[in-house]
Amino acid sequence: RSEITNSKHLKIFDLRLSDAGIYTCVYGSQTVSISLHVFKLTISSDGNFLPNDIPELTLLQNPRHLLPNLIIMLFNNNNNIVQPQLLQNETPEKYTLKLNQLKATDNGTWTCHVHSNSPLINQNISFDVKVLGFWNPERKYAAVDSTVTLSWHLNFQQIKWKEGFTGQLNWKHQESAASHELLDFNVTARGQKHETKKGNHFRFEILESKPETIQVKLPKVHFNHSGHYKCQLEYKGRYTQSTIELVVMKVSTNPVGPLPRGAKMTLICQVSRPLPSNAHLRWERVNGTQMDIKKSKHDEVKVEVNVSAAGLWNCHLIEDDERKISLNYSVEEAPVWITYVVIAASIAGSVLVFVFACLFIISGISWQRRRQRAKRMAQARQYLLENKTCQCQQ
């Protein structure tokens, strides 16, 4: 594993801890000694991690050689200093460092800087950290009857991940509800993805996508399709997941239908789940005034506005001053004949109520009269019976 070059340099290949020591070169009456210090840096899990994993670094130096006191500094993939926890050394030649929980953004080449004053050592040792994870938002908004696509982007190609893993996609309408599996997938060590549809709880499609993307489409969103869509992957018994919260919005009216002349209607804008603190619903009338604007309050899932005239209204879902969804509703006045029909129906209803009330009163009076007549007849019969008894005794 070594050779002496033409320039009298000694080259050692595949350096090992056992190669540490003092190397002496003798040339005539001259003697030159050089101390070689060898470090071996290892990282747990071969450098392959999932988010929230806690790596451990182990730095070894040759125990048969002079063991200096080392100062170790770590720099992450952004060249920022990382403060690891130095575990109790088992032996003087071994240093074990415990890092903080990893994030998907911690992917890249890290540097371990080893320093010693005596002997003077300044050595940088580079090592790779690969964190398999997702890149995607945590919330998505959709309108009823619209088409929505949910995507989870994995980073295994960017970080040159060389290990296979499996995963699945689950949907849960509410936190307390049961979880339903929609599909499962696996990715081979060569980066080939295979997906299998599992759920039939509602209609959805698995879209053809790149190996690093899990993508499903809901062609017609229903109000009860909202909930948590959780993509979970598993690697060597460890798990990581990414959840997209789907919030569905709809508009409706009470009563349903056109607005009769002189009547009132309530416009209702509603979302399927509570909104975050930086989001709200807002009704506003097109070409209206400030009086025609109404916002939802914190933790409200709907906002209502009462209207008495025709016009076009828009309901906006706003998050951080950005409109995420806008739905419009056109309030139309009912034709005149419908208004007359409604008035006639109201009058007819009132007349019917009056007639039924009169019939009830008349029936009650008749029943009362029959009862009184029967009572008088019973008294008369009793009177006649008493008189007849008295005549027989005489």
The arrangement of secondary structure in 255-331, i.e. its CATH architecture, is Sandwich (2.60)
Vertex 49 angle, CA 47 and 55, to 5°: 70
Give, in order, the Cα–Cα distances in Å from 59 to each of 17, 37, 108, 119, 137.
Answer: 11, 13, 20, 17, 38
Q: Residues 26-53: pLDDT tens digits?
A: 888 888 888 888 889 999 999 999 999 9
- Structure token digits, residue 307: 């209207």
Stated as kind and residue range, the H or E segment containing 234 is strand 227-235
Mean pLDDT by 10 residues, the chain (394 residues): 77 86 84 87 93 92 75 92 80 86 91 89 93 84 94 88 91 86 91 86 85 91 93 91 94 86 88 92 87 87 90 92 92 66 67 76 78 76 68 49
* Domain topology for 2-131: Immunoglobulin-like (2.60.40)
Beta strand spans in 102-164 (E): 108-116, 121-131, 134-135, 139-143, 148-154
**pLDDT at position 378:** 73
Tally of CB atoms within 10 A around 236: 9
* Topology match between the domains 2-131 and 255-331: yes
134-248: which CATH number, 3.50.30.30, 3.30.470.20, 3.50.50.60, 2.60.40.10? 2.60.40.10
What is the C-alpha separation between 356 and 349, in angstroms, rounded? 10
Stated as kind and residue range, the H or E segment containing 368 is helix 336-393
Structural contact between residues 145 and 220, judged by C-beta atoms closer than 8 angstroms: yes
**pLDDT at position 209:** 84
**For the chain, what are the domain ranges?**
2-131, 134-248, 255-331
**pLDDT at position 394:** 46
Q: Residues near 116 by Cβ (< 8 Å), separated by ≥ 6?
A: 68, 69, 70, 71
Residue 132, amino acid: L
Spell out a b/e string for 11-44, using b for 16 or more CB atoms within 10 Å of the CB, else e.
Answer: eeeeeeeeebeeeeeeeeeeeeeeeebbbebebb
pTM, to two decimals: 0.74
